[in-house]
Amino acid sequence: MKNVLIYGDSNIWGENFSGDRIKYHLRWTNRLKKSLKNKYKITSNGVCGRIAGNYRLDKPNKNGQSHFSDLINKKDDFDIIIIALGTNDLQEKYNRNVDNIIQDLNWYKNRLKSKKVIFILPPKFKTTEESGPDFTENSAKKLDQLVQRKEELGETIYIGSLDLTDGIHFSNTGHKIMSEKVKKAMEALDL
């Protein structure tokens, strides 16, 4: 049985901004776990607002790299690491360009040279009022550039558009679709 870590942000945690967290059995990581049965042991680690890098001085607990190092140092028996980060880095308030984001994401692959690392790129998000003021047309352009340059990250999964609750977070249907697409991608990568 392969041991898989899925490391990411609020869409791993199950945020939906309707006042309640997505129910445990409906989150895409748990749907994936159930559908893969006994082939994989899946551990998910998601934090709302987590960024790929280490540049948040106001909330260092949201810095993806430092928390990841702590996690891996405690438990280093993962065969496959799936990194689902980058969405929050696209917010205007952080002023990150695509080079910064790719560099921050590649840090994980470089940190884990002997492990299989797969990146799930941010889904297409809405740039309307419901997404908040930090996800702008410029954020969407950066996402398009990130998708165009995905080969710089190595193995990636790009889902594209999903059913969202608020412009950013997956609905129950979005979690179902995400689970199915990641399962197919894992099978295609022969993991």
Which two structure tokens, joined as six digits, stand for 113? 């040279």
Q: Specify the pLDDT at position 139.
A: 94
**What is the pTM (predicted TM-score) of this model?**
0.93
pLDDT in tens, 108-135: 999 988 788 999 999 998 887 766 778 8
Task: Please tell me the least confidently modeled range out of 53-67, 90-104, 152-166.
Answer: 152-166
Residue from 92, 82, 93 nearest 46 by CA: 82
Q: Which residue has the higher pLDDT, 15 or 98?
A: 98
Q: Cβ of 161: how many Cβ atoms within 10 Å?
A: 11
pLDDT in tens, 49-78: 999 999 999 999 999 999 998 888 776 688
Question: Domains, the chain, ranges and CATH?
Answer: 2-188 (3.40.50.1110)
The conformation of residue 168, written as its DSSP 8-state character, comes to: S
Q: Specify the pLDDT at position 76.
A: 64
The answer, yes or no, to whether residue 5 has pLDDT greater than 90, is yes
The conformation of residue 160, written as its DSSP 8-state character, comes to: -
Cα–chain center distance at 86: 7
Q: Specify the pLDDT at position 70.
A: 84
Q: Specify the pLDDT at position 44.
A: 94
